[in-house]
Amino acid sequence: MALLPILHYPDARLRQAAKPVGKITPEILELVENMAETMYDAPGCGLAANQVGVALRIFVIDTAAEDEPSDLRVFINPEILELDGVQTWEEGCLSFPGVTEEIKRAEHVKVRALDRAGVPFELEADGLLAVAIQHETDHLNGVLMIDKLSALKKRMMGRKLAKAKQEDARD
């Protein structure tokens, strides 16, 4: 397994819509393992393939609390079937290091995808898992959390990103 470089905003590759996975090959499985290792190392609770420069419809999520065992979930070719309700969540993103923003999302989501063995599944989720599924699906469609913000919040996020980069440069 290997750690993969995570693309940071405003890298143009983050805006590219990902293509469906045609066949689950050993290379796809290796990518999934590397994505999971990269997500845990970052640390984060979700990572989409296009965040590591691979334009394929794959993401990994683990929303288990720190005191709980890992609950890694793999979504290949995910498709959101239903969205219901509204919730606001303080979201972060590995492509926006050091920045969090309140984002409105559906409270409940139903998704269909393939697991790492290529077996189709459907999942209904709410809370953090629902937020993570929507966030990572947005990534696969080239949509970023900054796109969900008002013009004022976008400017403020830009300042936060610049400040975080300055702090990283000092470390």
Active site residue: 37, 101, 122, 136, which one?
Answer: 136
Within 42-150, residue ranges assigned H as helices are: 127-140
Place of tokens 């793999």: 74
* CB 112, CB 122: distance < 8 Å: yes
Bin 115: left if φ > 0, else alpha if -120 < ψ < 50, else beta: beta
Is 79 among the residues known to form the active site?
no
Q: How far is CA 157 from CA 114, 137, 142, 149, 161, in A?
A: 34, 21, 18, 9, 6
Tokens of 164: 């975080």
* CB 120, CB 111: distance < 8 Å: no
Closest by Cα among 111, 59, 108 to 81: 111
The three-class DSSP label of residue 148 is: helix
Catalytic annotation, residues: 136
